[in-house]
């Protein structure tokens, strides 16, 4: 049945609870234990600055958001205490990697050292990969920032945070 959904290729034995967790899927969202108010406020402030309209509109947005945050309730937990502890245990174990399988819906647990060895072997294959003379990250970041800037100007979406300055 679902036992095939988790393939443990690591040297670490997994408990029953740890084996059941990946069956929920890698996109399973655990309900929060608290509402991240500070993160919300930061994004709200950024949104108020990017509105650029009147101070009154920004104040109105702030007050509506504060009202929502004041009355917000923490959703009920969708995992048990044992599952939460198992998640923490898996997350804290730096010797394993939890990845989606190449095919199908299975989740694979690998030793981190095996994963790194396989990744380095793939990267060192000169028939497939080549070393760039110059790091292209800045070029792509500027291009992406420009596209996001123009989409924002057309009000297609609001940018809460641009990782790179458009001035550089």
Any idea what DSSP says for residue 104?
T
Does position 114 have pLDDT exceeding 50, yes or no?
yes
Average pLDDT over residues 50-71: 80
More confident residue, 16 or 22: 16
| The pLDDT of residue 138 | 92
The whole-angstrom separation of Cα 24 and Cα 113 is 26
Q: How confident is the model at residue 1 (pLDDT cuts 50, 70, 90)?
A: very low
Q: What percent of the chain has pLDDT over 90?
A: 33
How deeply is 133 buried, as exposed, middle or buried, from its count of CB atoms within 10 A (0-12, 13-18, 19+)? Answer: exposed
Q: How confident is the model at residue 143 (pLDDT cuts 50, 70, 90)?
A: very high
| The pLDDT of residue 52 | 63
The whole-angstrom separation of Cα 158 and Cα 149 is 9
Of 5-19, 25-39, 102-116, 145-159, the poorest mean pLDDT is in 145-159
Does position 165 have pLDDT exceeding 70, yes or no?
no
| The pLDDT of residue 6 | 86
Instruction: Record the tokens describing residue 138, joined without a space.
Output: 């800045």
Q: What is the pTM assigned to this prediction?
A: 0.61
Instruction: Record the tokens describing residue 26, joined without a space.
Output: 């890698």
Average pLDDT over residues 117-122: 93
């Amino acid at each position: 049945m679902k036992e095939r959904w988790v393939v443990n290729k690591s040297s670490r034995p997994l408990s029953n609870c740890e084996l059941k967790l990946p069956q929920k899927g890698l996109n399973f969202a655990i309900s929060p234990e608290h509402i991240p108010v500070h993160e919300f406020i930061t994004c709200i402030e950024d949104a108020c600055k990017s509105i650029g309209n009147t101070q009154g509109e920004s104040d109105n947005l702030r007050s509506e958001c504060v009202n929502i945050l004041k009355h917000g309730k923490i959703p009920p937990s969708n995992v048990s205490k044992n599952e939460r502890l198992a998640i923490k245990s898996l997350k804290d174990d730096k010797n394993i990697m939890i990845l989606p399988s190449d095919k199908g819906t299975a989740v694979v647990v690998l030793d981190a050292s095996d994963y790194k060895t396989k990744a380095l072997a793939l990267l060192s294959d000169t028939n497939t990969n080549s070393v760039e003379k110059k790091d292209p990250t800045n070029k792509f970041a500027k291009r992406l920032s420009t596209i996001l800037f123009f989409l924002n100007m057309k009000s297609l979406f609001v940018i809460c945070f641009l990782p790179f300055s458009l001035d550089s």
